Amino acid sequence: MLHVDLDQFIAAVEVLRRPELAGRPVIVGGRGDPTERAVVSTASYEAREYGVGSGMPLRIAARKVPDAVILPVDAEAYLAASDEVMSTLRSQPGATVQVLGWDEAFVGVELDDPEAYARRLQQAVLDRTALHCSVGIGDTLVRAKVATGFGKPRGVFRLTADNWLEVMGQRPTRDLWGVGAKISRRLAGHGITTVAELAAADPEVLAAEFGPRMGPWYGELGRGEGSRVVDDTPWVARGHSRETTYQRDLTDPAEVDAALHALFEQVWADIVAEGRPVVGVTLKVRYAPFITTTHQRRIATTGDRDVALASVEALAGDRIEPGRPVRLLGLRLEMPMPEEAREGHTPTRSGW
């Protein structure tokens, strides 16, 4: 199985539209205005050399690279480019494609020379879209995904059971797909700091720390194990979310309430388009200067707009701290998966 990851995808799309930007540090984020509150969506390799990365406040990125070209996010252009890439992958002989996002996908195929196939695949993507990609080859999805990092940019790398610990063993656990800084700190609390140590960790210790399901799963990650099947079943959203960073902190409770209602209407429109009810609410609040809290609540299954809104209002009333300046609000509405919602109910703006 192969993992295909487009190199600096968003920045590369922008450079294709503006060839004069080739070789220059390009940063994409927000509305392209570093004086506004926004974060970096992506940066070209030239900008990354200065320490710019995704999620960094745009104003800080601008300070790091004063001569950078800063562009606004154009989601429609990136989606169109992504569709062309995924179509190209699906057209390859014998390929089963599992899309992971705009810029990456797994490709399952039976063959004797995966490196040669990967090179042909890279060329096919380049010929059709003028975009470069890197390809990881593995005998599990985890190993293929991790391998891609060693192939960047524009390269091919293979990770299998034979060389997994040789390549990954002494690397920190945070280098694994699915292990972030928080999990790596918790592992370090048990003396587990490297991939090899995680691979050899006592399953009972992991289960005690992370639970009976996640504990063994982290052990599998350490060994590079996991699924060996590329699943091309169309992806189904478990929820829809929107968030807004406000250019001025919201201090009046009426402002916060109005902003929350505006977010709700945007998310509810997405829910209506799905035709599924709501079963949960997640509220994200970032207070000034940069303190973020997240609150969740399960609710009785509903497709009625007013009931869902009342649940959002109740959660906000309980959790948003009055008097604290609000920098960002985010709202997510969770839906049951199709097999969980076969009641025939369809949410509408006025209810079922």
- Sheet with strand 104-108: strands edge to edge: 96-101, 104-108, 2-6, 133-138, 156-159
| pLDDT value for 348 | 40
| pLDDT value for 338 | 67
| pLDDT value for 344 | 42
State the catalytic residue, choosing from 46, 104, 197, 274.
Answer: 104
| pLDDT value for 234 | 82
- Count of C-beta atoms within a 10 Å radius of residue 22: 12
| pLDDT value for 352 | 30
Mean pLDDT of the chain: 93
Cα distance between residue 326 and residue 248, in whole Å: 9
Q: Which of 302, 307, 286 is nearest to 334 (CA)?
A: 302
- Count of C-beta atoms within a 10 Å radius of residue 279: 19
CATH class of 9-74: alpha beta
Confidence of residue 337 (pLDDT cuts 50, 70, 90): confident
DSSP 113-174: -HHHHHHHHHHHHHHHHS--EEEEEESSHHHHHHHHHHHTTT-EEEE-TTTHHHHHTTSBGG
As a whole-number percent, the residues of the chain with pLDDT over 70 amount to: 96
Q: For residues 246 and 235, which has the higher predicted lDDT (pLDDT)?
A: 246
Q: What are the residue boundaries of the structural domains of the chain, listed by start?
A: 2-7+76-159, 9-74, 169-223, 239-340
Question: Would you say residue 131 has pLDDT above 50?
Answer: yes
Q: Where are the beta strands (DSSP E) in 25-127?
A: 26-28, 42-43, 69-71, 96-101, 104-108
Confidence of residue 237 (pLDDT cuts 50, 70, 90): confident
Please give the average per-residue pLDDT across 22-50, as a whole number. Answer: 94
Cα distance between residue 126 and residue 220, in whole Å: 35
- Count of C-beta atoms within a 10 Å radius of residue 91: 11
Each residue's pLDDT tens digit, 57-81: 999 999 999 999 999 999 999 999 9
Cα distance between residue 134 and residue 2, in whole Å: 10
| pLDDT value for 13 | 97
Considering the domain 2-7+76-159 in this protein, what is its CATH number?
3.30.70.270
Please give the average per-residue pLDDT across 24-44, as a whole number. Answer: 94
| pLDDT value for 63 | 96
- The topology (CATH level 3) of 169-223 is DNA polymerase; domain 1 (1.10.150)
Question: Would you say residue 228 has pLDDT above 50?
Answer: yes
Each residue's pLDDT tens digit, 274-327: 889 999 999 999 999 989 999 999 999 999 999 999 999 999 999 999 989 999
Same fold, 2-7+76-159 and 9-74: no
* 239-340 to CATH, choices 3.40.1710.10, 3.40.50.10240, 3.40.190.10, 3.30.1490.100: 3.30.1490.100
49 noted as active-site residue: no
Each residue's pLDDT tens digit, 166-207: 999 999 999 999 898 999 999 999 999 999 999 999 999 999
- What is the DSSP-derived secondary structure letter of residue 280? E
